[in-house]
Structures are given as structure tokens and as C-alpha cells.
Amino acid sequence: MAELRDLYQEVILEHSKAPRNFKEPAGMNHQAEGYNPLCGDRFTVYLEMDGDTVRDIGFKGAGCAISKASASMMTQTVKGKTKAEAHKIFQQFHDLVTGHEHVGDEELGKLAVFSGVSEFPMRVKCATLAWHTLEAALEGKQEKISTE
């Protein structure tokens, strides 16, 4: 039987209550909105890109504890990483929360607390919403977003 505490680990609860980088970075030049129509979770991920590198990242929005904590810890993880590195971490994170075999999850670091999500398939979308939004922000719109 899946254990609730595996899903709602202290670190996750703590991040959901006090999310990090819960703001629009001053130098933001990319953004994307992520929405899960099934549950109404909605986040905007903001990036300040310096060439191919995430110089700063923030997010805003509303969602469940899993989605919010995931967004919060994602911002900590990808800050300073290149586009390719961020993409690779997402692939590993995706494998982790969907319970797929994965190798070299040492890069996941603190994100390993999300391993319990794999026991709750209905919550995979919650854990990955911010990451999909990040991918959209990284890949999609190259146009400058007005900070006005």
C-alpha cells in the first residue's frame, strides 16, 4: 500500500507552504503559462536567460501541495543550469515520478523526495506541471516579454 508520508514528505510540505523563488525575476525575458484543466492548477514560470543559461527563475500561480512544491524545488534546481542540463534533469525527474527505471539520478539531488509520487499515478501531472511549463518557456517563445 502506498504510504501518504512517502508522498507528503516534510520537505514537500515545507516548500508548498513557503515556496522559493515565488516571484517574477526583475530581468525576466521569457515566460510560459502552465495549466492543468483537470484540477485547475495554474502556474506561470518566468526566466531570465543569459544566452543558453538560466540566470534567474521564478514562478507564480496556484495549485496543490505537490505541484507547488515541485515548482519551488524546480526553480532551485535549474537556476544556473543550461537549457540542455535543465532538459536532462526534467527527463530524470519524469522517470522518477512515473516509476520508470532510471540511471544516474544523482543529478536530481533534493528532487528525489518526489519518488513517492510514482505510487500515486493520478498525481504525476501535478508533479510535472511546472516542469512542462519550464520546457515551454525554454523552447517556445523567443520573443521578449514585456515586464511592464
Partner 1 sequence: MTASAVLPEKATSRVFDVERIRADFPILRSRVHGHELVYLDNAATSQKPQAVIDAIVRYYTSANANIHRGVHYLSQIATEEFEAGRHAAQKFVNAADASEIVFTRGTTEAINLVAQAWGRVHVGAGDEVLITAMEHHSDIVPWQMLCNEKGAKLRVVPINDAGELILEEYTKLLSPKTKIVALAHVSNALGTINPVKKIVAMAHAQGIPVLVDGAQAVPHIAVDVQDLDCDFYAFSAHKMYGPTGIGALYAKAALLEAMPPYQGGGDMISSVTFEKTTYNKVPHKFEAGTPDMAGVAGLKAAIEYMNGIGVDKIAAHEHELLEYATKTVLALPGVRLIGTAREKASVLSFVVEDVHPHDIGTILDQEGVAVRTGHHCAQPVMDRYCIPATVRASFAVYNTRAEVDALARGIRKVQEVFA
**Contact footprint for partner 1 (CB under 8 A):** 1-2, 4, 7-8, 13, 17, 38-42, 62-66, 68, 120, 122-123, 126
Query: Given strand 53-62, what is the order of strands in its sheet?
Result: 30-36, 41-50, 53-62
Nearer to partner 1, 27 or 40 (CB): 40
Shortest distance, position 32 Cβ to partner 1, whole Å:
19
**CA-closest candidate to residue 117, choices 96, 131, 102, 97:** 97
Nearer to partner 1, 89 or 127 (CB): 127
Shortest distance, position 61 Cβ to partner 1, whole Å:
10
Nearer to partner 1, 60 or 102 (CB): 60
Shortest distance, position 117 Cβ to partner 1, whole Å:
10
What is the distance between the alpha carbons of residues 100 and 98, in angstroms, rounded to a whole number? 6
What is the distance between the alpha carbons of residues 50 and 56, in angstroms, rounded to a whole number? 9
Q: Is 41 helix (H, G, I), strand (E, B) or coil?
A: strand
